[in-house]
Amino acid sequence: MRTLITNATLLDTVPEPHVVEGDLLVEDGRIAVVGHGLTADHVVDAERAIVMPGLVDAHRHVWQSVLRSLNPDSTLGDYLDLVLGRLAPAFTEDDVHAANHWGALDALDAGVTTVYDWSHVPHPEAALDGLREAGIRAVFAHPDRAALDRLRPPAHITLALAATGPVYGPVEEAVHDWKAARDRGLHISLHATGTGAVESLHRHGLLGPDVMVVHGNGFTDDAMQTMADAGATATVTPAVEAQMGHGNPETVRFRAHGVTTGLGVDTVVTVPGDLFSVMRAALPGTPAAEVLTMATIEGARAIGLDREIGSLTPGKQADLVMISTDSPGMAPVTDPVRAVVGSAGRGDVRAVFVAGRRVATTSAAARERAERVRARLTV
Residues that bind Zn ion (CB under 5 A): 266
Query: Residue 101 and residue 369: Cα distance in Å, rounded?
Result: 10
Q: In the complex, what is the shortest distance from the CB of residue 87 to Zn ion, in angstroms, rounded to a whole number? A: 15
Q: In what order do the strands lie in the sheet with 211-215?
A: 55-60, 112-118, 137-142, 157-163, 187-192, 211-215, 233-236, 261-263
Q: In the complex, what is the shortest distance from the CB of residue 215 to Zn ion, in angstroms, rounded to a whole number? A: 8
Q: In what order do the strands lie in the sheet with 2-6?
A: 30-35, 23-27, 2-6, 42-45
Q: In the complex, what is the shortest distance from the CB of residue 360 to Zn ion, in angstroms, rounded to a whole number? A: 27
* Residue 130 or 336 with smaller CB distance to Zn ion: 130
CB of 333 within 8 A of CB of 325? yes
* Residue 270 or 361 with smaller CB distance to Zn ion: 270
Segments of the chain assigned E as strands: 2-6, 9-12, 18-20, 23-27, 30-35, 42-45, 49-53, 55-60, 112-118, 137-142, 157-163, 187-192, 211-215, 233-236, 261-263, 320-324, 349-354, 357-358
Q: In the complex, what is the shortest distance from the CB of residue 264 to Zn ion, in angstroms, rounded to a whole number? A: 7
Q: In the complex, what is the shortest distance from the CB of residue 47 to Zn ion, in angstroms, rounded to a whole number? A: 39
Q: In the complex, what is the shortest distance from the CB of residue 192 to Zn ion, in angstroms, rounded to a whole number? A: 11
Partners of 357 in the beta sheet? 354
Helices (H) and strands (E) in the chain, counts: 14, 18
Nearest alpha carbon to residue 242 among 276, 271, 272: 271
* Residue 57 or 266 with smaller CB distance to Zn ion: 266
* Residue 12 or 266 with smaller CB distance to Zn ion: 266
**Amino acid at residue number 139:** V
* Residue 23 or 266 with smaller CB distance to Zn ion: 266
For Zn ion, the nearest residue by Cβ is 266
Q: In the complex, what is the shortest distance from the CB of residue 129 to Zn ion, in angstroms, rounded to a whole number? A: 22
Query: Residue 109 and residue 94: Cα distance in Å, rounded?
Result: 22
CB of 267 within 8 A of CB of 240? yes
Q: In the complex, what is the shortest distance from the CB of residue 293 to Zn ion, in angstroms, rounded to a whole number? A: 22
Nearest alpha carbon to residue 354 among 125, 11, 53: 53
Handedness of CA 141, 292, 72, 378 (dihedral sign): negative
CB of 97 within 8 A of CB of 373? no
* Residue 266 or 306 with smaller CB distance to Zn ion: 266
* Residue 76 or 289 with smaller CB distance to Zn ion: 76
* Residue 261 or 311 with smaller CB distance to Zn ion: 261
Query: Residue 327 and residue 344: Cα distance in Å, rounded?
Result: 10
Q: What is the DSSP letter of 85?
A: I
Q: In the complex, what is the shortest distance from the CB of residue 131 to Zn ion, in angstroms, rounded to a whole number? A: 17
* Residue 250 or 266 with smaller CB distance to Zn ion: 266
Handedness of CA 150, 153, 159, 165 (dihedral sign): negative
